[in-house]
Homo-oligomer: A and B are copies of this chain.
Amino acid sequence: MEWEELARELSIQTDTKIVLYVIDGLGGLPKNGKTELETAATPNLDRLAAKASCGVSDPVLMGVTPGSGPAHLSLFGYDPLVHQLGRGILEALGSDVEVKEGDLVARGNFATFKDGLISDRRAGRIPTSECERICAKINAVRSKISDPEITLFPGKEHRFVARFRTTGLSDCLTDADPQKDGKPRIPAKAEDKKSEKAVAVVNAFLDEVVKILADEPIANAALLRGFSVQPTIPTMPDLFKLRPAAIANYPMYKGLARLLGMHVYKIGPEPADLFDALEAHWSEHDFFYVHFKKTDAAGEDGNFEAKVKAIEEADRFLPRIEALKPDVLVVTADHSTPALMHGHSFHPNPFMLAADTAMPDDVAAFSERTCAKGILGRFPSLRAMPLILGHAGKLKKFGA
């Protein structure tokens, strides 16, 4: 029996409340002997660690660096090696684009096409208002055609989401994106027989876009990547009998949460907005995913000091969560983003779980290396959800 089947059988709805506070990209590597988290002053996290059960968790497999999608899936109790999601679908869901079964979606960029080459893949990062105007221009032409129904949804600057709606679309397509400036446009290619119709639809559309935008000086071509159809994945209400909410302010995380059946709130852009929303909706849910992004962004920038500051900011919000008295409070990350590596890494996540039912260990500070000595040991992130549900009294006894 696999975990999902077991979860469906054992999970029960109760009044206990869970907060999963994800400090994105939290884990790091030492500079002058200390990691970002070890360097940061984190009195609140340390205080919580002293009474929590601590451990470290591997998002996918030891040694494997995850993208944000698989790292979050794992933390939410879904095997990322079983449920593989295209970036396009996450982007679409995070952008409030309605996606139905059978739709094909992709992430898009407007680009500058000159003398047969893509001279700028980002069309000089045109203002968002320009992106909206150009999407509208294309949609105006396309709206006259009912099949395939193709719609563009403007994003920030040069970015958009494309949705293709007709029968028989599949998503084993290569990106229609040269990846580098100074190269010709490249069409999508089918990676299997089933995707040939999708390739024909997509490539005909991309040629059409060049015609529609022929008089545009800067944004006069479109690139598409991360083609994906709506995946079939059981929801958290279904699997775990939760009434879950996502408190996140970046599209991808919101998209993933919506896909998993979480209620996704509209949240302002500041970290404080997260905690305002958490407090405002506290009575409405029993599971709250709170996503703190700044730490990851600083790690990606390779900015050790900024990451230290972001961690200290994440620490300062912790008392606002504690004041709500959740029955289970977990603080961890989706994946590590060491500033020294300028990107995601394979290092395990520090993890702590505080609950009346949790066994305190002798970890008295929250860090990668202290948590590695915690009572939870080293475990796959996929085991986080059973741990959380178990400590919250939301899993029945298995067997008699």
Could you tell me the distance in whole angstroms from the C-beta of A154 to the nearest C-beta in chain B? 21
Contact assessment for B29 and A399 in the assembled complex, using a CB-CB cutoff below 8 Å: no
Most buried by B among A343, A346, A360: A346
Contact assessment for B399 and A70 in the assembled complex, using a CB-CB cutoff below 8 Å: yes
The stretch that binds B, out of A79-87, A140-148, A156-164, A177-185, is: A79-87
- A346-386 CB mask vs B (1 if < 8 Å, else 0) is 11000000000101111000001100110111110001011
Contact assessment for A400 and B87 in the assembled complex, using a CB-CB cutoff below 8 Å: yes
Contact assessment for A65 and B341 in the assembled complex, using a CB-CB cutoff below 8 Å: no
Chain A residues numbered 4-32 whose CB sits less than 8 Å from any CB in chain B: 6, 10, 29-30
Contact assessment for A400 and B357 in the assembled complex, using a CB-CB cutoff below 8 Å: no
Most buried by B among A3, A372, A396: A372
The distance in angstroms between the C-alpha atoms of A85 and B398, with both chains bound, is 11
Determine if A108 is an interface residue (Cβ-Cβ < 8 Å).
no
Q: Which B residues are CB-close (under 8 A) to A3?
A: 61
Contact assessment for A369 and B359 in the assembled complex, using a CB-CB cutoff below 8 Å: yes
Q: Which B residues are CB-close (under 8 A) to A69?
A: 399-400
Determine if A344 is an interface residue (Cβ-Cβ < 8 Å).
yes
Q: A30: which of B360, B385, B399 is its contact (CB, 8 Å)? A: B360
Q: A357: which of B35, B341, B362, B391 is its contact (CB, 8 Å)? A: B341
Determine if A212 is an interface residue (Cβ-Cβ < 8 Å).
no
Q: Which B residues are CB-close (under 8 A) to A400?
A: 67-69, 86-87, 90, 226
Q: Which B residues are CB-close (under 8 A) to A323?
A: none
Determine if A66 is an interface residue (Cβ-Cβ < 8 Å).
yes
Determine if A100 is an interface residue (Cβ-Cβ < 8 Å).
no
Most buried by B among A3, A60, A69, A377: A377
Given contacts A357-B341, A372-B375, contact A398 B347 (CB under 8 A): no
Could you tell me the distance in whole angstroms from the C-beta of A304 to the nearest C-beta in chain B? 15
Closest 9 CB pairs of A and B: A63-B390, A63-B386, A87-B400, A377-B378, A67-B399, A70-B399, A63-B387, A346-B390, A67-B400
Other contacts beyond A61-B386, A63-B385, A359-B369: 6, CB < 8 A: A6-B81, A62-B376, A63-B391, A80-B399, A345-B357, A362-B369
A residues whose Cβ falls under 8 Å from a Cβ of B: 1-3, 6, 10, 29-30, 35, 56, 60-70, 80-82, 84-87, 90, 226, 341, 343-347, 357, 359-362, 368-369, 372-373, 375-379, 383, 385-391, 395-400
